[in-house]
Structure 1
C-alpha cells in the first residue's frame, strides 16, 4: 500500500478502512466531461449540507445534491484555523446560491449552530449516530449511489476516504481523518432517517 501510494502515486486503501468500496476511478467524476458537458447542477432534485466544526483539525462544510437515487458531493469547504465568522460567510454564500437548504451541523458546538440560525441559515442539529450513519454512507457507496464531483482544487475528503480506519480493539472508527467524512455522514444519515426532527427544527417554526 505504501509503495503504491508513495512511489506509484495510486489511490489505494489500507487494511481496515471504513469505506473499502470507494473507488476513485468510478466514484470521482469530472465537473466537465470529455465532451464538454457540465455536471447538471440545475437537475438536482434537492440540496443538503453537512457541517463539522473544527479549528486545529479541519472544519468542513459539504454541499450535496441528489438526482434520483444518487447523491453527489458538489462542493467541499475544508480549512484549518478558521473562526466561526469564516464559516458563516461560507454558509451565507451557499444559502444565497442554493436557497434555504438544510445545514446538518455537529451539535458539539451549540453556540455555532445558534449563530448560523441567527444569520438566517437553516441550521439543524445532526443525528450523530456513528455506526448507523457509517452503514448508511457505506451502502450508498457500495451500491454506486454516491459520487464526488472533481473540481480544479484538491479535495480533502479523498485523503480521508483512503485513511479513515477501524480500531481493531474497540470496533469503532479511529478518531482521525474524519472531518469531512463526519460532515458527510451528518448530512446523508440525518436527511434520510429524521424527517420529523428536521421539520420541527426549522428556524421559521
Structure 2
C-alpha cells in the first residue's frame, strides 16, 4: 500500500518499515511528515492486525480525531484508493477502515479512563499523545492484551518533564519502545515558501518546540514577540467585521472586556477596552451593573459585535446577560495553551494590533509570564497574576477563530 501522490522521505520509509514494537512513537515538529508516515503504517497494520480484539483510534476530542486522523485518511491524494474504503462521520464512536470496525475513544477529562473498561485491544492509533491523561494512557496499554497487539502514536514536543517523555520516551531502549524524531526537513511535500511561513508564524517557546522539535521548558515572557512600537497603534483601519467583545469576569479581581474586530488590512484589532478594578475604584459592581456598563460602552462605539464571549466560569454573569437579552452570548473556548499559541503566532506575524486606549491589556502583555514552579513539574501554565485582559484576549481570539482565520494570511497550523 502506498500514497497516491506524496513521495515519502527516507526517514518516513524507515519509520514505517521498522515500527514493529509494541509501542511506536513518531514525535517532532509540526508538519514534519510524522502523521502521514504513522497513518500509512496504521493502515498497513489494520489489514494484518490480529482478530479477536478491538482496534481503536484515540484522541483528545472527536474534533481533533476527525481533523488529525480521519480527514487525512479519507484524502485520496494522500492514500490513493485506500481512502475510498475509510468511512467515518465526525463525532461518531465507530469508524470502518479497510473493512475493519474501529472504535473511536476520546480522552478529554479525568473520567476518560472509564471509557476503556471492558476493552480487549488488538491495536491502537493514538493522536497527540501528550494531550492524554497519564492514567488513561497507562490503562490503554494494559488493555492491549491480544497477542501481537501494537500501538502507534504521534506527538509534538512538550515540556521535558512531561510524563510521556519521562516515563516512556526516555526509557525507550529499556521498555522496547521505538521512536522517531521528525523535523520539517523530513517532509518532502513542503515547499520552501511554506516552511518560511511556518517559521515566521511561531516565536519563543512555540518556535523551539514546533519548528525545531525540541522538548524545552517554558520560561520567561509568554508573548516574546510583543513590541509596543509595532503592535500598539493610534488609529485602526475600517473594521469589516465586529467579531466579539470578550470578557474575563471579576468581582474582587478586575473585570476586563475587549472589543475585537477584523480590519480591512487583514489584521485583527483590539479596538477598545472596558475595565473595572474594584480595588482601585473601591467599589464592587453587581452582574446587572456590569451588564449595563458593557451596553453603554459598546453603544458609545456604535457597535454590536456578533458574539459576546464570556469567561466560562462566570455562570451568574452569563445568566444576567441572557436576562438582559444580550445576543450571541457564548462561553469562551478555554484551552489555555491553544489560545496562548494562537495569540503568540498572530503577534509574531504582525496580524494582531491593539489600540492605544486599551491600557489594561497593553500594561499586562509584557509581564505575562510562564510559571517557573509549574514548569519544573512538567506543566506549562501562565502565572495567575495581572492576566485579566490577557485572558480576555485569548478568549476572544480563540473562540472566534473560525470567523477570522479564512481572512488572515498566516500559517497557524499546529496539528502534526
- Matched with 1:116 is 321
Matched, 1:173 2:379: no
TM-score (norm 1): 0.76
Gaps of 5+ in 2: 1-218, 279-284, 375-379, 405-416
- Matched with 2:294 is 91
Distance in structure 1 (CA, Å) of the matches to 2:401 and 2:269: 15
Task: Render the CA deviation track for 1:23-70: whole Å, top value 9, x for unaligned.
Answer: 001111113xxxxxxx34xx2121111101012211111001111531
TM-score (norm 2): 0.39
Gaps of 5+ in 1: 1-14, 32-38, 196-205
Pick from 41, 50, 72 the counterpart of residue 269 of structure 2.
72
Distance in structure 2 (CA, Å) of the matches to 1:66 and 1:139: 16
- State which drifts further: 94-103 or 20-29: 94-103
1:95–1:121 Cα contact (<8 Å) kept? no
Distance in structure 1 (CA, Å) of the matches to 2:383 and 2:312: 20
- Cα 1:100/1:75, change in 2 over 3 Å: closer
Q: How does 1:32-43 map to 2 (within 5 A)?
A: 39-40=236-237, 43=238
Matched, 1:125 2:125: no
Distance in structure 2 (CA, Å) of the matches to 1:186 and 1:194: 14
- Cα 1:114/1:146, change in 2 over 3 Å: same
- Matched with 1:49 is 245
1:160–1:181 Cα contact (<8 Å) kept? yes
- Matched with 1:149 is 355
Tell me the matched-pair count. Answer: 170
- Matched with 1:63 is 259
1:167 Cα deviation (Å)? 1.0
What SS class does the counterpart of residue 334 from structure 2 fall into?
A: coil
State the structure with bigger RCO (CA 8 A, min sep 6), 1 or 2. 1
Matched, 1:104 2:309: yes
Pick from 3, 7, 22 the counterpart of residue 226 of structure 2.
22
1:91–1:121 Cα contact (<8 Å) kept? no
2:312–2:331 Cα contact (<8 Å) kept? yes
1:132 Cα deviation (Å)? 0.4
Structure with the largest fraction of helix: 2
- Cα 1:100/1:132, change in 2 over 3 Å: closer
1:100 Cα deviation (Å)? 5.2
2:245–2:257 Cα contact (<8 Å) kept? yes
Question: Which of the two has higher C-alpha Rg?
Answer: 2
What SS class does the counterpart of residue 400 from structure 2 fall into?
A: helix
Which portions of structure 1, spanning 4 or more consecutive aligned residues, are displaced by more than 3 angstroms?
A: none
- Cα 1:136/1:175, change in 2 over 3 Å: same
What SS class does the counterpart of residue 372 from structure 2 fall into?
A: coil
